[in-house]
Amino acid sequence: MDHYCRLLDTAQWLEVGMSWTAIQSLAAPLSVADVAERLAGPEADIRMLDVREGPLYVPAVHIADCGSSIMLLDHVGEVVSWVPGLMDRLSEGARLWNVGWHVNGGNRLVYAVDGRVLVEVPALDRTAVYGAEPHALNHVLHLLPDPFTPLSKASAMAIIEMESGASLDLEWLEADQMAVILGHGE
């Protein structure tokens, strides 16, 4: 958890909004292209973009192969976390962990498996868990501190790393990375 406290303290622009997702296949490994297609269709437009800036006129989600997982980062915090049905689609044949927040709040942790959201933790509050199988993450939810504390976001990110093996670090955030363009633009 200390790693993510330092990361959020250093990359303070993430405090405004962010959605971080790890997707891990239940069978054959997923590729970046597989997940990009789930995000944007068969003709997914993948470009290299600065993570901090992203595209100026169209939404995009950064994407990376992270060992046994595919990682997504939406630095605005409004695409993966809030597009209806997207987490279901991204988790088909896979396990998905997502933590997100945006400028108006909306903090939450989500766990989905094989096209179904099993756990939602609104406000990162371990006492407010709901979903199809609300106890599916009980083994790690005790790590969440009281909601609305500075540690709650870092703790949720640490849970995703512990569960999926995906890791987000400052070096990755400070470089150009692959991004799936979600819309039409230049």
In single-letter form, the type of residue at position 12 comes to Q
pLDDT for position 75: 80
Report the predicted TM-score, pTM, of the whole model to 2 decimal places.
Answer: 0.93
What are the residue boundaries of the structural domains of the chain, listed by start? 2-181
Number of residues written out for the chain: 186
Burial class (CB in 10 A: 0-12, 13-18, 19+), 105: exposed
Write down the pLDDT at residue 4. Answer: 94
pLDDT band at 15 (very low <50, low <70, confident <90, very high): confident
Q: Is the pLDDT of residue 78 over 80?
A: no
Arithmetic mean of pLDDT over the chain = 90
Whole-number Å distance between alpha carbons of 161 and 164: 5
Rounded-to-integer distance, Cα 173 and Cα 178, Å: 11
pLDDT band at 97 (very low <50, low <70, confident <90, very high): very high
